[in-house]
Amino acid sequence: MRYKKKRMLKLIFIIAIVAFAIFLYSYYNINLGLDLQGGSHIVLQAQPTEEREINNEVMGGIVSVIERRVNQLGLTEPVIQREGSDRIIVELPAIDNPNEAIETIGRTAVLTFRNSSGQVLLTGEYVQDASADYDQYGRPVVSFKMNDEGADRFEEITSQYIGQKIGIYLDDELLTNPTVQDTISGRGQITGYDTVESAEKDAILIREGSLPVPVEVIQSRTIGPVLGEISIQKSITAGLIGLILVSIYMMFYYRFPGVLAAAVLIIYGILLMGTLAGLQATLTLPGIAGLILSIGMAVDANIIIFERIKDERKSGKTLRASIDAGFKRAYKTIIDANVTTLITALILAYYTSGTVRGFAVTLGIGVLVSMFTAFFITRNVIDLFTHSNLLQSDAAFGAKRR
């Protein structure tokens, strides 16, 4: 009675884990990379100026500003990375208007306040916040707020220019040229916009800061979602074919334990997809290759376990003793094989970027999940059927094939 209760608890726990993985997958879904859902691939090149040369500090500043601007666009899992000494790769998945995105991320965006003779009175570095809004007449504007130092300077400047015009420029483009009616402290508005969308675009540029140096778009290409759909379909087909063939082999060679191994592989797939969704991982085409490779690692773990159990059965031990000894002997081999793969995946993830990193991350996650599946799920699933005649058979675990 106690044994049956223990088996029931194990079964409930396995079902709970699988149900939780399904919940994670259905609630979070898995983000698709640029190569699977389509989008824009943009290469920017930093342009040196008379005041500034291109160095690591400048490039780091450019990446930081572009990251902030892209995040304001509300895109899922954009990729921003350096390439060489003066280039930056920007990948924007599922973007509707790539030209508008290029204008937003690639513009230098230096905000200046100038008098009628063109003299710069104040720069945008003192702007603390900016957002699209409407004025009292319902016209789109950009409302901005200065920091404490900027508020003091702006108040001093506007007090000196009452009755005169102060132009507000973004780069060298005049946004508005209002006449100062009274002293202005820490807040103001930029008018002259036709739509709130155009106001929001400039608000992003002002709010997130200017680029240290200008950048030039040297490459821009759009990847259609159709190509990604074809890739996903082919990858799923390849994975299913591989899974079916492996399951058939396992069932033929190991008989009923092979059937259990096929069921465990399905559980492994559910746990893996749930883990990826829960971690909000981005899946790319090389990442799918990593997943399929990790399925092979999961199968390999089951084979090692079954072969160790088979050896123990041939030595004359009981089924219970053979299972215990087989798992104990298999653990070290499985850990050694998987740890070496994990080390390789960690090195690739740390020293590479882009699609190679995606492959390494998904492979590493797949290996960790396969180890959990082998050590816990496979062991408990076999324990559930220990007293079954299907496991007691001489043909089970491939100990005696007809």
Condensed to tens digits (0 to 9), the pLDDT of residues 310-365 reads: 888 888 788 788 888 888 888 888 888 889 889 998 998 888 766 777 788 888 99
Please identify which residue in the block is written with the tokens 């059927």: 385
CATH class for the region spanning 41-106: alpha beta
Strand partners for 220: 42
- Coil, strand, or helix at residue 28? helix
End-to-end CA separation in angstroms for the chain? 36
In this predicted structure, the answer to whether residue 138 has a pLDDT above a threshold of 80 is yes
Q: Where in the chain is the domain with CATH 3.30.70.3400?
A: 41-106
Question: What value does the mean pLDDT of the chain take?
Answer: 81
User: Domain 109-210, what architecture?
Assistant: 2-Layer Sandwich (3.30)
Rounded CA separation 12/285 (Å): 35
For residues 136 and 37, give the distance between their C-alpha atoms in angstroms, rounded to a whole number: 42
Residues composing the chain:
402
Q: Which residues of the chain are in CATH 1.20.1640.10 domains?
A: 2-35+224-398
pLDDT surpasses 60 at 402: no
Q: pLDDT, tens digit, for every residue of 69-85? A: 777 666 656 778 888 88
| CA gap 297, 341 in Å, rounded | 9
pLDDT classification of 381: cutoffs 50, 70, 90: confident
Count H helices and E strands in the chain, helices first. 13, 13
Q: What is the dihedral of CA 110, 73, 62, 148, to 10 degrees?
A: 50
SS3 state at 111: strand
Looking at the chain, which residues constitute the CATH 3.30.1360.200 domain(s)?
A: 109-210
CATH of domain 2-35+224-398: 1.20.1640.10
Nearest Cα to Cα of residue 93 among 288, 238, 217, 227: 227
Full-model pTM: 0.63
For 270, the 3-state DSSP assignment is: helix
pLDDT tens digits, residue range 199-247? Answer: 887 787 777 666 778 888 888 877 766 556 777 788 778 878 888 888 8
CA distances from 112 to 107, 172, 206 (A): 15, 9, 10
Which of 239, 287, 276, 386 has the alpha carbon at shortest distance from 327? Answer: 386
